[in-house]
Chain A
Protein backbone atom coordinates (compact mmCIF):
# COMPACT_ATOMS: atom_id res chain seq x y z
CA UNK A 1 0.00 0.00 0.00
CA UNK A 2 1.56 3.27 -1.17
CA UNK A 3 -0.58 5.52 1.04
CA UNK A 4 -2.17 7.18 -2.01
CA UNK A 5 -5.90 6.57 -2.32
CA UNK A 6 -8.14 6.93 -5.34
CA UNK A 7 -11.89 6.69 -5.76
CA UNK A 8 -13.78 5.18 -7.39
CA UNK A 9 -11.99 1.95 -8.37
CA UNK A 10 -14.19 1.40 -11.40
CA UNK A 11 -16.40 3.72 -13.38
CA UNK A 12 -18.64 2.83 -16.31
CA UNK A 13 -20.33 5.66 -18.13
CA UNK A 14 -21.68 6.62 -21.53
CA UNK A 15 -20.21 8.80 -24.25
CA UNK A 16 -20.84 12.49 -23.75
CA UNK A 17 -21.01 12.22 -19.97
CA UNK A 18 -18.81 13.87 -17.33
CA UNK A 19 -17.03 12.15 -14.45
CA UNK A 20 -14.86 13.17 -11.52
CA UNK A 21 -11.97 11.09 -10.21
CA UNK A 22 -10.63 11.73 -6.73
CA UNK A 23 -7.18 11.30 -5.24
CA UNK A 24 -5.76 11.73 -1.74
CA UNK A 25 -1.96 11.93 -1.59
CA UNK A 26 0.31 10.38 1.00
CA UNK A 27 0.51 12.28 4.25
CA UNK A 28 3.09 15.05 3.86
CA UNK A 29 3.26 14.96 0.07
CA UNK A 30 2.58 18.31 -1.59
CA UNK A 31 2.82 17.26 -5.24
CA UNK A 32 0.05 15.37 -7.03
CA UNK A 33 0.30 13.99 -10.55
CA UNK A 34 -2.33 12.51 -12.87
CA UNK A 35 -1.56 9.88 -15.51
CA UNK A 36 -3.59 8.09 -18.15
CA UNK A 37 -2.72 4.53 -19.16
CA UNK A 38 -4.56 2.92 -22.06
CA UNK A 39 -4.50 -0.84 -22.57
CA UNK A 40 -0.93 -2.16 -22.93
CA UNK A 41 0.41 1.38 -23.22
CA UNK A 42 2.86 3.45 -21.25
CA UNK A 43 2.10 6.15 -18.73
CA UNK A 44 0.86 9.40 -20.27
CA UNK A 45 1.46 12.33 -17.96
CA UNK A 46 -1.56 14.62 -17.77
CA UNK A 47 -1.00 17.29 -15.15
CA UNK A 48 0.84 18.12 -11.92
CA UNK A 49 -0.13 20.22 -8.92
CA UNK A 50 2.08 21.41 -6.11
CA UNK A 51 0.51 22.73 -2.92
CA UNK A 52 -2.62 23.81 -4.72
CA UNK A 53 -1.02 25.32 -7.79
CA UNK A 54 -0.75 23.88 -11.28
CA UNK A 55 2.92 23.21 -12.02
CA UNK A 56 3.14 21.26 -15.24
CA UNK A 57 0.91 20.09 -18.02
CA UNK A 58 1.42 17.11 -20.25
CA UNK A 59 -0.83 15.74 -22.96
CA UNK A 60 -4.04 16.75 -21.27
CA UNK A 61 -7.06 17.32 -23.49
CA UNK A 62 -9.07 20.51 -23.18
CA UNK A 63 -12.05 18.36 -22.14
CA UNK A 64 -10.10 17.36 -19.04
CA UNK A 65 -9.37 19.57 -16.06
CA UNK A 66 -8.03 19.12 -12.57
CA UNK A 67 -7.56 20.94 -9.32
CA UNK A 68 -5.88 20.47 -5.97
CA UNK A 69 -7.74 21.60 -2.88
CA UNK A 70 -6.39 23.20 0.33
CA UNK A 71 -6.39 19.81 2.06
CA UNK A 72 -4.15 18.63 -0.85
CA UNK A 73 -6.58 16.11 -2.29
CA UNK A 74 -7.04 16.40 -6.03
CA UNK A 75 -9.82 15.82 -8.52
CA UNK A 76 -9.60 15.09 -12.24
CA UNK A 77 -12.66 16.06 -14.25
CA UNK A 78 -13.29 14.40 -17.60
CA UNK A 79 -16.11 15.78 -19.74
CA UNK A 80 -17.73 15.04 -23.11
CA UNK A 81 -16.36 11.54 -22.77
CA UNK A 82 -15.43 9.55 -25.83
CA UNK A 83 -14.82 5.83 -26.29
CA UNK A 84 -11.08 6.53 -26.54
CA UNK A 85 -11.04 7.94 -23.02
CA UNK A 86 -11.47 4.44 -21.64
CA UNK A 87 -8.29 3.81 -19.66
CA UNK A 88 -6.72 3.44 -16.25
CA UNK A 89 -6.23 6.80 -14.57
CA UNK A 90 -3.53 6.92 -11.93
CA UNK A 91 -2.80 9.55 -9.38
CA UNK A 92 0.65 9.78 -7.81
CA UNK A 93 2.16 11.94 -5.11
CA UNK A 94 5.63 12.92 -4.00
CA UNK A 95 7.18 14.95 -1.23
CA UNK A 96 9.01 17.13 -3.77
CA UNK A 97 9.30 17.48 -7.53
CA UNK A 98 12.72 15.81 -7.54
CA UNK A 99 11.81 12.70 -5.57
CA UNK A 100 10.05 9.45 -6.29
CA UNK A 101 6.36 9.36 -7.05
CA UNK A 102 4.05 6.96 -5.26
CA UNK A 103 1.03 5.75 -7.18
CA UNK A 104 -2.53 5.11 -6.12
CA UNK A 105 -4.40 1.95 -7.18
CA UNK A 106 -5.96 3.71 -10.15
CA UNK A 107 -9.48 4.26 -11.45
CA UNK A 108 -10.54 2.12 -14.37
CA UNK A 109 -12.82 4.17 -16.61
CA UNK A 110 -14.93 2.45 -19.22
CA UNK A 111 -16.85 4.62 -21.67
CA UNK A 112 -19.60 2.79 -23.55
Chain B
Protein backbone atom coordinates (compact mmCIF):
# COMPACT_ATOMS: atom_id res chain seq x y z
CA UNK B 1 0.00 0.00 0.00
CA UNK B 2 0.93 3.65 -0.21
CA UNK B 3 1.91 5.50 2.91
CA UNK B 4 3.09 8.91 4.06
CA UNK B 5 4.54 9.26 7.56
CA UNK B 6 5.05 12.48 9.45
CA UNK B 7 5.11 13.26 13.19
CA UNK B 8 1.74 13.99 14.72
CA UNK B 9 2.83 16.99 16.74
CA UNK B 10 5.93 19.11 17.34
CA UNK B 11 6.69 21.99 19.67
CA UNK B 12 9.25 24.72 19.07
CA UNK B 13 10.19 28.11 20.47
CA UNK B 14 9.64 31.47 18.83
CA UNK B 15 12.74 32.56 16.96
CA UNK B 16 14.15 29.04 16.71
CA UNK B 17 14.40 26.58 13.81
CA UNK B 18 12.28 23.46 13.36
CA UNK B 19 12.47 20.59 10.87
CA UNK B 20 9.36 18.58 10.01
CA UNK B 21 10.12 15.24 8.41
CA UNK B 22 8.08 13.28 5.92
CA UNK B 23 8.81 9.78 4.65
CA UNK B 24 6.87 8.11 1.89
CA UNK B 25 6.30 4.77 0.21
CA UNK B 26 4.31 5.25 -2.97
CA UNK B 27 3.73 3.66 -6.33
CA UNK B 28 5.96 5.92 -8.33
CA UNK B 29 6.82 9.53 -7.68
CA UNK B 30 5.86 12.68 -9.53
CA UNK B 31 6.55 15.33 -6.94
CA UNK B 32 6.12 16.16 -3.26
CA UNK B 33 4.09 19.03 -1.83
CA UNK B 34 3.96 20.80 1.52
CA UNK B 35 0.84 22.65 2.58
CA UNK B 36 0.19 24.79 5.65
CA UNK B 37 -3.19 24.71 7.37
CA UNK B 38 -4.11 27.05 10.21
CA UNK B 39 -6.90 25.84 12.48
CA UNK B 40 -10.27 26.34 10.86
CA UNK B 41 -8.77 27.54 7.59
CA UNK B 42 -7.93 26.25 4.14
CA UNK B 43 -4.70 24.39 3.47
CA UNK B 44 -2.39 26.67 1.49
CA UNK B 45 0.43 25.59 -0.81
CA UNK B 46 3.96 26.09 0.53
CA UNK B 47 6.38 24.20 -1.67
CA UNK B 48 6.89 21.63 -4.41
CA UNK B 49 9.92 19.36 -4.89
CA UNK B 50 10.38 16.98 -7.80
CA UNK B 51 14.20 16.85 -7.97
CA UNK B 52 16.59 16.05 -5.13
CA UNK B 53 17.90 18.93 -3.14
CA UNK B 54 16.87 21.97 -1.19
CA UNK B 55 14.35 24.56 -2.32
CA UNK B 56 14.46 27.79 -0.34
CA UNK B 57 11.62 30.26 -0.12
CA UNK B 58 12.18 32.94 2.47
CA UNK B 59 12.05 31.51 5.99
CA UNK B 60 10.81 28.16 4.66
CA UNK B 61 12.90 25.53 2.88
CA UNK B 62 11.96 22.07 1.63
CA UNK B 63 14.35 19.20 0.97
CA UNK B 64 13.86 16.03 -1.04
CA UNK B 65 15.77 12.76 -1.35
CA UNK B 66 14.00 10.47 -3.79
CA UNK B 67 16.34 7.55 -3.15
CA UNK B 68 15.49 7.65 0.55
CA UNK B 69 11.80 8.46 0.12
CA UNK B 70 12.32 11.40 2.42
CA UNK B 71 11.55 15.08 2.63
CA UNK B 72 11.68 17.74 5.28
CA UNK B 73 10.28 21.20 5.73
CA UNK B 74 12.59 23.60 7.52
CA UNK B 75 11.16 26.68 9.20
CA UNK B 76 13.58 29.35 10.39
CA UNK B 77 13.12 32.35 12.69
CA UNK B 78 9.87 30.90 13.93
CA UNK B 79 6.99 33.26 14.53
CA UNK B 80 3.81 32.67 16.51
CA UNK B 81 1.84 32.77 13.27
CA UNK B 82 3.69 29.64 12.12
CA UNK B 83 1.59 27.63 14.59
CA UNK B 84 -0.37 25.44 12.18
CA UNK B 85 -0.58 21.95 10.75
CA UNK B 86 1.84 21.07 7.96
CA UNK B 87 0.67 18.52 5.41
CA UNK B 88 2.98 16.45 3.25
CA UNK B 89 1.59 14.99 0.01
CA UNK B 90 3.15 12.91 -2.77
CA UNK B 91 1.95 12.64 -6.36
CA UNK B 92 2.22 8.99 -7.39
CA UNK B 93 2.68 7.39 -10.81
CA UNK B 94 -1.03 7.89 -11.58
CA UNK B 95 -0.73 11.56 -10.62
CA UNK B 96 -2.91 10.94 -7.58
CA UNK B 97 -2.06 12.86 -4.42
CA UNK B 98 -1.28 10.69 -1.40
CA UNK B 99 -1.55 12.68 1.83
CA UNK B 100 0.07 12.41 5.22
CA UNK B 101 -2.02 13.00 8.34
CA UNK B 102 -0.25 16.29 9.00
CA UNK B 103 2.07 17.60 11.70
CA UNK B 104 0.64 20.04 14.21
CA UNK B 105 3.33 22.59 15.03
CA UNK B 106 2.98 24.48 18.30
CA UNK B 107 5.12 27.59 18.76
CA UNK B 108 5.79 28.76 22.32
CA UNK B 109 7.01 32.24 23.30
A and B associate:
no
Q: Give the B-binding residues of A (Cβ under 8 A).
A: none
Residues of B within 8 A of A (CB): none
